Amino acid sequence: MRINCPLCGPRDRREFHYYGAEDFLHRPAEGAAPEAWDNHLHQRDNPAGITKDLWYHETGCSSWLLITRNTVTHEIHSAELVADRKVPTP
Amino acid sequence: MRYSGLKVITQGLFGNKGWTPAWRNPAPKADYDAIIIGGGGHGLATAFYLAKNHGLTNIAVLEKSHIGSGNIGRNTTIVRANYFLPGNSEFYSHSLKLWEGMEAELNYNVMHSQRGLINLFHSDGQRDAFVRRGNAMINQGDDAILLDRDGVREHLPYLDFEQTRFPIYGGLLHPRGGSARHDAVAWGYARGADQRGVDLIQNCEVTGIDVENGVVRGVQTTRGAIRAKKVGIIVAGRSSQVAAMAGMRLPIESHILQAFVTEGLKPVINHVVSFGMGHFYISQSDKGGLVFGGDLDFYASYASRGNLPMVEHVMEAGMTLMPMIGRAKVLRSWGGIMDMTPDGSPIIDKTHIDGLFIDAGWNYGGFKAVPASGWCMAHLMATGESHEVARRFKLNRFATGHLLDEEGTGAQHNLH
Ligand SMILES: Cc1cc2nc3c(=O)[nH]c(=O)nc-3n(C[C@H](O)[C@H](O)[C@H](O)COP(=O)(O)OP(=O)(O)OC[C@H]3O[C@@H](n4cnc5c(N)ncnc54)[C@H](O)[C@@H]3O)c2cc1C
Ligand SMILES: [Zn+2]
């Protein structure tokens, strides 16, 4: 399995650390209901197929990546820098 | 047919022509009192105890493939009761007691062998943690013996004690821990359930769950619709997909765990040995193969095969711990899909839908749990109440903050 890091190019899977589903990016606002935190930390869609999850280029450029990939075939479709995402300002 | 030593001898004398199939192959009926989705170890044990302990026999187990095709036939068969947290401790203790009576209860040889489990430690801090764990096990009524380095040497003289990375300080011996024949556990429960009237329906995939006004009515399957008053979802790595059929989202992420087996060798490893620091554990099967494995591949996956980096890591850890195994040839490796929860502990609970129950989140420790999980899930489905040794395995414990994080690694599904 190789991941095409936007900064470093295609690199071996061993350079990356898997963190978890995209849900980790959607941190609830301070004071949000416990259910919001439960969804953020614990509950998952866990699809068999296309998913988006967070990986850290640990022994490369130290970027956080949002990766679109297939959990059944292990195919990697795209990798984008989390830092480049346009987060809507509340 | 009752199995016995005498039967084996007489059948052997007459060409083994008198054996009959161990269970029937019925067509699904239109209606059942209860349906179990998933014919793995947990589903079969649940059906067995529903029939045996609660007298419910108008039941079907629906399995999308064949009995034993899931994790029940893919695991590395360690059976132990060395848990620590209240909630886990009494459950696994109950399970081990059921294991000890399983062969008599099922009239089936599951080759349960209490050869002793040794968990190695490599620092003073780890020793303290193991002393604490051992005391928790003893308080629960199970057994634990702290071994110093010489004590470990007596049992496992072949380890590399002086290895530079993790020199061995000692180990925690759990004498009643051991292993069993995984397929036989599935077959034994399948046969026992069938004998009590349970329909085991193979090649029958559940594709939908019918719910009306918050009450479960039955399921849709590749072999037609089947009505039922109660439905249990017991599908291990596929829990999220099946629960989604009832509109539920679960605290589960599916991950791949690999295992390996070598060619058959003469007896050389008598215990189950676990080397936590290296993410490696090993035992020897009765056929002689060294059965070993390591940690998850670490990313969410539904491929029943792993990736090479973990193969390399497991082999390195094995060679570090016991260089003698380097001469053995690996025959096979495979992977299974693990239903990982964010605290590493399972779920046996009702759902928000009346009559719909779930038993899931076994992480990579669900083989040893098979009898107690079946026992407690059957209790829950029959009585509507949690069994006392499974009362903390709640579906909503993540929202309420009552987590059972045995390893204290935090809310990340792949860290347990
Ligand atoms: C490599 C490996 C090593 C392991 N080692 C150990 C160990 O040493 N000790 C230990 O305690 N545990 C171990 N485990 C964990 C243990 O195997 C599992 O936790 C346990 O087997 C899961 O429960 P089960 O037997 O019911 O699952 P399974 O056997 O996977 O049963 C689930 C069944 O549901 C069926 N199913 C899925 N979807 C549907 C559907 N829609 N309709 C109908 N049927 C469906 C599947 O086909 C499957 O047969 C290991 C697992 C693996 C993969
Ligand atoms: Zn990079």
Domains detected in chain B: 21-77+182-251+345-415 (3.50.50.60), 112-179+253-340 (3.30.9.10)
Q: Give B-chain residues touching A74 at CB under 8 angstroms.
A: 301, 303, 307
Q: What residue has token string 């215990």?
A: B271
In this predicted structure, what is the pLDDT of residue B165? Answer: 86
- CATH class label, A2-84: alpha beta
Residues 6+ apart with CB under 8 A from B166: B122, B275, B277, B278, B320
Q: Are B367 and B41 in contact (CB under 8 A)?
A: yes
Ligand found nearest the CA of A62: 2
CA dist., res. B185 & res. B33, Å (int): 25
State which residue of chain A sits closest to B253, comparing Cα positions: A46
CA dist., res. B197 & res. B58, Å (int): 7
Q: Give how far Cα B334 sits from Cα of B44, B307, B413, Å.
A: 23, 10, 21
Nearest CA to ligand 1 atom 35: B38
Q: Give A-chain residues touching B251 at CB under 8 angstroms.
A: 38, 42-44
pLDDT band at A88 (very low <50, low <70, confident <90, very high): low
CB atoms within 10 A of CB B358: 26
CB contact under 8 A, A13 and B309: yes
Pocket of ligand 1 from Cβ distances under 6 Å: B 37-43, 62-65, 69-72, 74-78, 205-206, 234-238, 242, 257, 259, 293, 336, 362, 364-368
Residues surrounding ion ligand 2 at CB below 5 Å:
A 5, 7-8, 57, 60-61
Interface of A with B in 19-58 (CB under 8 A): 19-21, 34-35, 38-39, 41-48, 51, 53, 55
Q: Are B317 and B279 in contact (CB under 8 A)?
A: yes
Q: Give A-chain residues touching B414 at CB under 8 angstroms.
A: 18, 20
Ligand 1 atom nearest to B205, measured from its CA: 42
In this predicted structure, what is the pLDDT of residue B357? Answer: 98
In this predicted structure, what is the pLDDT of residue B305? Answer: 84
Could you give phi then psi for residue B139, rounded to 5 degrees?
Answer: -60, -30
CB of A13 within 8 Å of a chain B CB? The answer is yes
Complex ipTM, two decimals?
A: 0.95
In this predicted structure, what is the pLDDT of residue A87? Answer: 67
Residues of chain B with pLDDT under 70: none
In this predicted structure, what is the pLDDT of residue B73? Answer: 95
CA dist., res. B68 & res. B41, Å (int): 8
Closest CA to B48 of B105, B89, B7: B105
Q: Give B-chain residues touching A20 at CB under 8 angstroms.
A: 253, 300, 412-414
CA dist., res. A5 & res. B254, Å (int): 24
C-alpha atoms less than 13 angstroms from C-alpha of B248 in its C-beta half-sphere? 23
The residue count of chain A comes to: 90
CA dist., res. B237 & res. B75, Å (int): 13
What token pair was written down for B184? Answer: 């036989």
Q: Is residue B179 packed enough to be buried (19+ CB in 10 Å), middle (13-18) or exposed (0-12)?
A: buried
In this predicted structure, what is the pLDDT of residue B304? Answer: 81
In this predicted structure, what is the pLDDT of residue A85? Answer: 83
Q: Are B350 and B384 in contact (CB under 8 A)?
A: yes
State which residue of chain B sits closest to A43, comparing Cα positions: B251
Closest CA to B165 of B280, B21, B295, B37: B280
Select the more confidently predicted residue: A42 or A89: A42
Q: Are B331 and B393 in contact (CB under 8 A)?
A: no
CA dist., res. B42 & res. B360, Å (int): 9
CB contact under 8 A, A42 and B342: yes
pLDDT band at A89 (very low <50, low <70, confident <90, very high): low
